[in-house]
Amino acid sequence: MNAHVAPPRPGSETEAASRRPLSVRLATPRGFCAGVDRAIQIVERAIEKYGAPVYVRHEIVHNRHVVERLKAMGAVFVQELDECPDDRPVVFSAHGVPKSVPASARDRKMFYLDATCPLVSKVHVEAERHHAAGRHILLIGHGGHPEVEGTMGQLPDGAITLVESVEDAHRVMRPGQQPLAYATQTTLSLDDTAEILSVLKARFPELPDPHKEDICYATTNRQEAVKRLADGSDLVLVVGSPNSSNSVRLVEVAMRSGAGAAKLVDDASQMDWSWFESVHTVGITAGASAPEPLIQALIAAIGDRFDMTLMDDPGERETVSFKLPRALTA
């Protein structure tokens, strides 16, 4: 763990000597993952190449600041394709879309770019493989989340049953004599998913494992990092938007892993400084759709009020990157 004492920022009204000491631990990894970075680049490059407006079906990623910045560049966010003109590019979000969406775009001869995270696309492929083999799929995930809607929309109605909780796992029934398989949303809690799977496998021992874990590397790495962070932190701050599944899971994991308290904040403006009473060590992390400047602004705000020692927690160094669509690189 590397530590350094953060100097007071220029213009700070309070001398360091008069401020209470505070240790701040910064998680590694944190913030943007490769899928989020690719999706944002797709929108940015589409605007650069084709001009504004470029339409985006649903939020490209679940972060308010990212969405507002792209709006300022010329992105127009819509809920459905019928809100888009035929003659402008449309981008599908990183969470994935039902098959009916690109089919509708093709029918209208629209130019579209699919920003679905490749790891979500992998779940789609696995679901299709199980369906082709005659298996009914139990999908572990959160109802109403765009990723779940996209995965369920890869197959005909009734081919997938959503399992949201341990209680669902105890209640779910096999459709007739059909063999079963399972898939998971990529941004779930590792521990919650393992608990649900243990119930499902006890009830249906023939359940096969996916070729690889559906929960993505970025979700896994950030949850493992926040577990380390929570151990010894009086307060853990997670930078992320409330509709970001992976950010919300980080708060839950931090609390389960021993943090004194854990809070989700969109940015530094949402800080409640009463949270810091009797706090000596603060952990900071960010969901996979939260930009690094938001994290640095949060650290700066803390540094303005405390005699802060900033420490970088060791963790997994991520080197994953995903290619952009050929239409944007040709």
Catalytic residue flag (residue 147): yes
Can you tell me which residue has the tokens 């992105």? 75
Return left, alpha or beta for 148; rule: phi > 0 is left, psi -120 to 50 is alpha, else beta. alpha
Task: Return the structure tokens found at 137.
Answer: 């799929």
Task: Return the structure tokens found at 328.
Answer: 């944007």
Alpha helix (H) ranges present in the chain?
34-50, 64-73, 100-107, 118-132, 146-152, 166-171, 190-203, 217-230, 245-256, 292-305, 326-329
Nearest to 212 by CA among 203, 220, 204, 224: 220
Contacts of 192 (CB under 8 A, 6+ apart): 252
Contact present, 314 and 28 (Cβ < 8 Å): yes
- Residue 136 sits at φ, ψ, to 5 deg, of -90, 140
What gap in Å lies between CA 308 and CA 281, rounded to an integer? Answer: 10
Collapsed DSSP state (helix, strand, coil) of residue 171: helix
Distances (CA, A) of 325 to 117, 164, 213, 272: 12, 33, 25, 42
What gap in Å lies between CA 260 and CA 250, rounded to an integer? Answer: 14
Catalytic residue among 44, 59, 126, 147: 147
Residues 78/80/81/85 CA torsion (nearest 10 deg): -40
Active site residues: 147
